[in-house]
Structure 1
């Protein structure tokens, strides 16, 4: 089975990749730190009474950092997905006994299952996290049946 990548699929795959990036453990720590900074800056404003001075900018800076993190994550995910599978690319996936076989355009790869650390299925993409790296491989969800997904999870762990 193959699928031709279009703009809608690219947007969906990038969205799934961005959600993954924004909810992984390191990102959760970042969100907790930013939320704590926001809470402390608001408490500091309350303690200063009516004269906040420069500390009045801290809540705005905290919210700005949060927005910046979201925007940059989305932009990075879009760029990565687009460069790996530009619109018009024909993509295919086949599960082998010891490796995942992926093709995109004129390129193909045989990737041993031990290369991956985890599997996460989104609405439009199946995301395979590489072991020992922060990188992921995204494949269109429409190429992976529920049985294939169960097989991937069993083989990857």
Structure 2
């Protein structure tokens, strides 16, 4: 496939970062975190309704636990979005021309003066968002983002077949 290119703008960066944040917040390890936070929240709310004998104090700090748990959930979301924005911005600064080319055995892509040739076997899985295609690298928690506009539906199908 001949290389396709586009110039990155602020809007594209925000949309790609959103897709990357959603991807990171729905990974299996993140889902375990969400379940643990939900269980802690339910437990802390139930703990607030436990009857206390006259003259006894309730559990110390129990009233703050739901607030703290919700703050931790909010912090996780903010940090994921911030990390995704930073990663996408570093890889593809605004006004940079980004290009991609699917070869028989590798994916070629570039941003500005940088160029990467990555063998398909390097990728473990692929997630297609509305504005970004995220390719998770094997044995790492890192994903490579490609603007979705650079890939046709046939390109996506080709990538899926080569990565799976």
TM-score, with normalisation over the residues of structure 1?
0.97
- Deviation above 3 Å: which 4+ runs of structure 1? 48-53
Matched, 1:125 2:132: yes
Q: Residues 72-91 of structure 1: CA distance to partner in whole angstroms, max 9, x if unpaired?
A: 10001000100110001101
Q: Which runs of 5+ in 1 are unaligned?
A: none
Counterpart Cα distance in 2 of 1:104 and 1:76: 19
Counterpart Cα distance in 2 of 1:20 and 1:137: 12
Q: Residues 78-118 of structure 1: CA distance to partner in whole angstroms, max 9, x if unpaired?
A: 00100110001101111000000001111111100000001
Which aligned pairs between 1:45-56 and structure 2 lie closer than 5 A?
45-48=48-51, 51=58, 53-56=60-63
Counterpart secondary structure, 2:109: strand
The alpha carbon displacement at 1:138 in A equals: 0.2
TM-score, with normalisation over the residues of structure 2?
0.93
Counterpart Cα distance in 2 of 1:72 and 1:104: 25
Given candidates 112, 123, 144, the residue that maps to 1:137 is 144
Counterpart Cα distance in 1 of 2:83 and 2:40: 25
Q: Which residue of 2 aligns with 1:86?
A: 93
How many residues align structurally?
157
Q: Which residue of 2 aligns with 1:2?
A: 5
The alpha carbon displacement at 1:52 in A equals: 5.5
CA RMSD of aligned residues (A): 1.2
